[in-house]
Structure 1
Amino acid sequence: IVVSFFSPSGYEHFDHQAVDFIFYLPIDFPWVMRRLLRVLKSQKVVFTSYDIWPNLIWNCQKADVPTTLFAARIVPGSTKQWPILSNFYRHIYGASARILQAILGS
């Protein structure tokens, strides 16, 4: 199991003994994500909550690596609902093999 973080706060509060390898996720450029998938030889990629990396998701789709978005949520007033951005997010979410939704208020 490999775990990555973008923020130092997530990295610092994670139980490092629970995984095989932990690292900071590089910037979401298409060529960087392609190389990352090759190096890690990923069999599955799981994203949590707001941590959506479009180029990583699209590269997973091209490489037939299934993706899961865990604890997905769109709060009222989210930019994901804006007409100009909704199509962009539709393509991102549409590329995910599985989306597990968080129920607000639970």
Structure 2
Amino acid sequence: MYIIYNVLLLLATIFLSPYMLFKLATVPKYRGGISQKLGRVRKGVLKVLGGTRPIWVHAVSVGEVMAAHPLIRELKKKYPGRKLILSTVTVTGNSTAKRRVPEADAVFYFPFDYPWIVRRVIQKINPDIVLVTETELWPNFFRELQRQGIPSALINGRISPGSYGKYLRFKRFFTEVFKSVTLFCMQSDEDAARIRDIGAAPDRVLVTGNLKFDQKISTAQQRPVAIAAGRRVITAGSTHRGEEAILLEIYSRLRKKYPDLVLI
């Protein structure tokens, strides 16, 4: 099954390479950390580690970084002498990790899931354990961790109803992939049941809740928003660059019809 996965991965790379090269040339964010994604481990990361075996936490983007932050904070409290490193996939996730997660001793980009790339990165970093957030199920990465005797855990794991059916279609493959994962820490009973159905061994599945509920909320954030009763409210959450301008334009138009409208 891994042979089929890697052949498909290689074919997809060949087929999409013109598009990917165009994006790399024209969109700066696609160039972020490309050498690291291709297997280069920065000297700064290796210097920080100093030959020690770190705790490696992986969070794909901003939401996962913020969800993992409470756990990272607690790990550093419990193991103050241990190095802890944090990897991301996106540029925004990387910059957020550097700004918002001071407990991380190093922040870097996660490697592409090609066997030779993940093997090189794992050998260079030599982690003591790897904790991967939510549903970042990279087959070659987990397989290589197992080959090198490194335990791994899926933390804050979730399987949405939509993705559940897709995973089931490839149950045979994911059953094989899940053999390489040491522990599955799922958000809910439903998530735990779904990942067991897909092929995870029941004795490796735990329900640990949602890490996002463990985030520290500042005093300012806890204060109630002073909005008069009966006023209409629009809440914009998890917006991306450029979307705020669109929202403000829509809001200004709606205010003409609904003068009491509030945008948060």
TM over 0.5: yes
Q: CA deviation at 1:28?
A: 0.9
How do 1:1-106 and structure 2 match up within 5 A?
1-14=84-97, 15-78=100-163, 79-82=166-169, 85-103=170-188
Q: CA deviation at 1:9?
A: 2.6
Tell me the distance in 2 between the aligned counterparts of 1:56 and 1:94.
Answer: 13
What SS is found at the alignment partner of 1:64?
Answer: coil
Q: CA deviation at 1:39?
A: 0.7
Give the structure with the larger helix fraction. Answer: 2
- Cα offsets for 1:62-86 (capped at 9, x unmatched): 000000011222222321122xx11
Tell me the distance in 1 between the aligned counterparts of 2:146 and 2:179.
Answer: 10
Specify every segment of 5 or more residues in structure 1 that has no aligned partner in the other structure, as ranges. none
Tell me the distance in 2 between the aligned counterparts of 1:93 and 1:74.
Answer: 14
Tell me the distance in 2 between the aligned counterparts of 1:9 and 1:87.
Answer: 34
CA RMSD, aligned part only? 1.6
Q: CA deviation at 1:53?
A: 1.6
The number of equivalent residue pairs is 103
Q: Which has the larger radius of gyration?
A: 2
Contact residue 74 and residue 80 of structure 1 kept, 8 A:
no
- Cα offsets for 1:30-67 (capped at 9, x unmatched): 11111111110111111110222211100000000000
What SS is found at the alignment partner of 2:128?
Answer: coil
Alignment-mate amino acid for residue 2 of structure 1: I
Alignment-mate amino acid for residue 97 of structure 1: T
What SS is found at the alignment partner of 2:142?
Answer: helix
Alignment-mate amino acid for residue 75 of structure 1: S
Q: CA deviation at 1:21?
A: 1.0
Specify every segment of 5 or more residues in structure 2 that has no aligned partner in the other structure, as ranges. 1-83, 191-209, 211-264
Contact residue 66 and residue 96 of structure 1 kept, 8 A:
yes
What SS is found at the alignment partner of 1:37?
Answer: helix
Tell me the distance in 1 between the aligned counterparts of 2:136 and 2:91.
Answer: 14
TM-score normalised per structure 2:
0.37
Alignment-mate amino acid for residue 148 of structure 2: A
Q: Which has the higher contact order (CA 8 A, sep 6+)?
A: 1
TM-score normalised per structure 1:
0.87
